[in-house]
Amino acid sequence: MAEQRNVDTFDYVIVGSGAAGSVLAHRLTEDPGITVCVLECGPPDRHPYIHVPAGFIKMLFNPNYTWQFQTEPGEGTAGRRIPTTQGRTLGGSSSINGMIYNRGQRADFDNWAQRGNRGWGYVDVLPYFKRTERRIGIGDDRIHGRSGNLPVTDIDWIHPVCEAFIDGAAGMGIPRCADYNSGDRQEGVGYFQRAIFKGYRHSAARVFLHPARRTGRLDVRTDARAAQVLFDGKRATGIRYIDDRDRTTEYRVFARREVILSCGTVNTAKLLQLSGVGPASVLQDIGVPVLADLPVGENFRDHYSARIVARVKNVRTINEMARGMGLAGQIARWMLGKPSILALSPSLVHWFWKSDDALDFPDLQGVFSPASYRQGFVGLLDEFPGMTCGVWQHRPESTGYVHARSTDPFTDPVIQPNYLKDPMDRRVMLAGMRLARRLLHTPELAAYFDGDVLPGPEVHSDDEWLDFARRYGSTAYHLIGTARMGPASDPTAVVDDELRVHGLQALRVVDASVMPNMPSANTYCSTMMIAEKASDLIRGRPPLAPVEGIAA
């Protein structure tokens, strides 16, 4: 490669412009005199499908704006490779995700603190959740923010099949839940809160990164593929990166204060390993000298979902509305600012419930939509009227790994989540799939239910259900854990509770890879919270005060 030496120096260099990187850039540039450089491997977020919520279906398969990662084959996937697409543009996955705003349960974060991570319990992180949020709609103001950058709205497009599904769940004993983000009461069924406002997706780039550029203290470099963290001894000093368009020209950018990795669970692990930080055996296999022998890339977890599809009668579903004259009408409604399928998240209804009645709190997350996708996968809508009820386990026990294949920064790493490897995961998934089918068979939904499609009505036994899960299950795109937060005494930890990499200086990791365990939720919301808290840690500011009236 032809190296072009570059002496640009900033106070902070952030790798990645996703949920975490955008929030960090916004907060760090609030300080006068501070300069920040953000490196993003992908292009700018100008594509119109990024900003129209329904465009996610197109963007998810566009390699120009996504990392088209795939898992290794595994027994839990019947030997299949599972696409684990991640965002590769300004905003990262927040520019292509399902836009769901879902924090999880109080116990998720109390568990993080109980693992030795001071300041990460629920009462500690709640103020940071609030700081990102501008809640538009009902909600307890002790729990929800009203003045943050991210607008969080309620759905304004109501479909009779959704209403019947909710009625049916309530009839089965799953109560209606007005606010699953309340912290104390997640269980129930209702409509999702989402990061959609006035018909448009509001990504982290739109609400955090782009406003920060107006300060004049932020330099955002797109098409910049990070290849290595640079060190002087044990101190991180900068990043070597390559122009992603010509794949030849190299640059270096330096940090006076800190280098911060916010590349996401897969790329953060890969970049650390390429830089000599990771398991000694993995680094030796690819010929990288060991700078710090740490379990980078281990503790990898993801939500593995199964989607149950049924045919619909007596009403039009999104499948028909998204074609021909129906689509033209929906476009017209969207352009006039009226409720439209173009301004929807892919999942409309949530249901949080328990795989076993003996549990105190939900261990399942379910989703529902009056739409269905070919072979049960998000992507291409079915030709027939359909509805989908999906489910996954909140906190999977199965863990996997992310390992760099070589020193080539253009080579995707080995990704092995080991889906369904743990017997507990199989038990919970079985209960979840059976419950999902029951939810499609309620009397309240009978007027619209026109038969099971995937799996067919012949699937009944445990073995048949598990075979279905292995053959048709897929990722929920909630990748976490490869740079686990924990004290130095924890052999599984990579960063401490201030997100500093153990044994190194001036290097932090701020993204979903630091999550010690999976939250009982989508990960976008918690990733922004982590970045909000990290920004105060980095700036040396005291933590935000606990919310009055919320007990520890």
**Residue 108, both tokens:** 């998720």
Q: What are phi and psi of 489, to 5 degrees?
A: -75, -10
CB 495 within 8 A of CB 483: yes
Q: Which residues of 421-445 are buried (b: 16+ CB within 10 A; e: fewer)?
A: bbeebbebbbbbbbbbbebbebebb
3-state secondary structure 284-301: HHHCCCCCEECCCCCCEE
| CA angle at 153 for the pair 176 and 121, rounded to the nearest 5° | 75
Written as one string, the DSSP assignment of 348-417 is -EEEEE-SSTT-SS--EEEEEES--BGGG-SSSB-SS-EEEEEEEESS----BEEE--SS-TTSPPEEE-
Give the Cα separation of 241 and 253 in Å (integer): 8
CB 37 within 8 A of CB 219: yes
* β-pair type (235-243, 277-278): unpaired
Which one of 303, 350, 478, 502 is the catalytic residue?
478
Is 478 catalytic? The answer is yes
CB 189 within 8 A of CB 389: no
CB 99 within 8 A of CB 345: yes
Give the Cα separation of 150 and 148 in Å (integer): 6
Give the Cα separation of 267 and 209 in Å (integer): 20
- Residues in contact with 124: Cβ distance below 8 Å, sequence separation at least 6, in sequence order: 109, 113, 533, 543, 546
CB 436 within 8 A of CB 308: yes
Burial grade of 233 (CB within 10 A; 0-12, 13-18, 19 or more): exposed
CB 12 within 8 A of CB 36: yes
* β-pair type (349-353, 188-191): antiparallel
Name the nearest CA neighbour of 503 among 319, 249, 236.
236
Residues annotated catalytic, as ranges: 478
